[in-house]
A and B are shown apart, each in its own frame.
Chain A
Amino acid sequence: MTLFLKFDFRAICKKVLEDTLQAYNIEYKIMGFGEVELLKKPTTEKAQMLFDALKNYNIEVVENQKSILVQKIKDTIIDMVFNENTEVHVKTSAYLSDTLGHSYGYLSNLFSEVTYTSIENFIILQKIEYAKRLIINDRLSLTEIAFKLNYSSVAHLSTQFKNTTGITPSAFQRIISKRRELNQQN
């Protein structure tokens, strides 16, 4: 029997964090995705135990200011792309610099330096990944996906999909379903 699962990564991460922090009796407040405030400063040994416990889940504690800012840029973008309630009427660049309080030039240089990619590419990749999930899990049509992701037309979505991945959305869907058939046979 094969089960196909759908994950909510944010909910999973939050649950893992909560369970781990509670296991060490640490009082905390979750501030947003990837940001936790510890209400009392834990002892060094306790903090180390917590870091090690998180490391089991491949959760890394980033202390570096640059990494933190890059993480904030990513979170803001992800929120903008995926959260239908966050309505953005201004350009992404203006939105990012307003939200994070740095000039777009600074943010964009920092982002490229740390992640090897540009903010623009990151946004496109996130959108295309989201489109892939919708194609596979929710079996939405391309028209529906284009609408959901704010593309001006299906053609625009298809072109960006092809430019980013080198294959068309329909080839992608065909390959993934063939892979599943194959895995079920094995």
Chain B
Amino acid sequence: MKKDFIHIILADDDEDDRMFFTDAFDELKIGTKVKTFNDGIYLMDYLNSNNCELPHVLFLDLNMPRKSGLECLYEIKANPKFNDIAIAIYSTSASEEDIEKTFVQGANIYIKKPSSFKVLKKVLSEVVTTNWQYHTNGLNKDNFLLRL
């Protein structure tokens, strides 16, 4: 079977978090290609550029300078070009208000940043495999809500 890569993007201003994130994917058995951006402006510039490769899953940190994750979410949901991207909020906050608000605004996944590398790997693997199920089995993405 031809190996398809799963494309992942993370926008997060914290350098350590970006590093843990890419390291975690490197250690998973799933074939992924991971790109990271330092804030929402860089991210949206990339997504809006003509020859960018759209990710299967986009991870957004909520608190970023210049352009927050929430602002990115609004922009992405307003543009039909991005309909197929699963949006994962990747945040230190676990307030019920943030969670429900981002889900209502169209996020598919809400992840509270795990405190250990081991848990991070487990969580990311679950996100990617669940998303893959939606992708390959023609499940309705509008009903895709996952909280970890």
A residues engaging B (CB < 8 A)? 9, 64, 66-67, 74, 114-117, 122, 125-126, 129, 132-133, 136, 165-167, 171-172, 174-176, 178-179, 182
Closest CB pairs A-B (n = 10): A166-B147, A178-B104, A132-B143, A175-B103, A116-B129, A167-B147, A117-B129, A179-B104, A129-B139, A64-B1
Q: Which residue of B lies closest to A113 (CB)?
A: B1
> Given the complex, which residues of A lie within 8 Å of B147, measured CB to CB?
165-167
Smallest CB separation, A15 vs chain B (Å): 15
Given the contacts A166-B148, A167-B147, A172-B145, A116 and B103 also touching, CB distance less than 8 Å: no
Given the contacts A66-B1, A175-B104, A179-B104, A122 and B133 also touching, CB distance less than 8 Å: yes
Q: Which residue of A lies closest to B100 (CB)?
A: A175
> Given the complex, which residues of B lie within 8 Å of A182, measured CB to CB?
104-105
Tell me the bound Cα distance from A133 to B143 in angstroms.
Answer: 8
Given the contacts A175-B104, A178-B104, A182-B104, A117 and B145 also touching, CB distance less than 8 Å: no
CB atoms of B148 and A129 under 8 A apart: no
> Given the complex, which residues of A lie within 8 Å of B110, measured CB to CB?
166
Tell me the bound Cα distance from A136 to B145 in angstroms.
Answer: 13
Question: On chain B, which size bracket covers the interface?
Answer: 20 to 34
Smallest CB separation, B117 vs chain A (Å): 21
> Given the complex, which residues of B lie within 8 Å of A172, measured CB to CB?
145
Smallest CB separation, A90 vs chain B (Å): 24
| Most A C-beta atoms less than 10 A away, residue of B105, B110, B129, B143 | B143
Q: Which residue of B lies closest to A129 (CB)?
A: B139
Smallest CB separation, B26 vs chain A (Å): 16
CB atoms of B140 and A115 under 8 A apart: no
> Given the complex, which residues of A lie within 8 Å of B145, measured CB to CB?
165-167, 172, 175
Q: Which B residues, 124 to 148, have Cβ-Cβ distances below 8 Å to chain A?
A: 128-130, 132-133, 136-140, 142-143, 145-148
CB atoms of B137 and A116 under 8 A apart: no
Smallest CB separation, A114 vs chain B (Å): 6
> Given the complex, which residues of B lie within 8 Å of A165, measured CB to CB?
145-147
- Is the C-beta of B30 less than 8 angstroms from some C-beta in chain A? yes
Smallest CB separation, B119 vs chain A (Å): 14
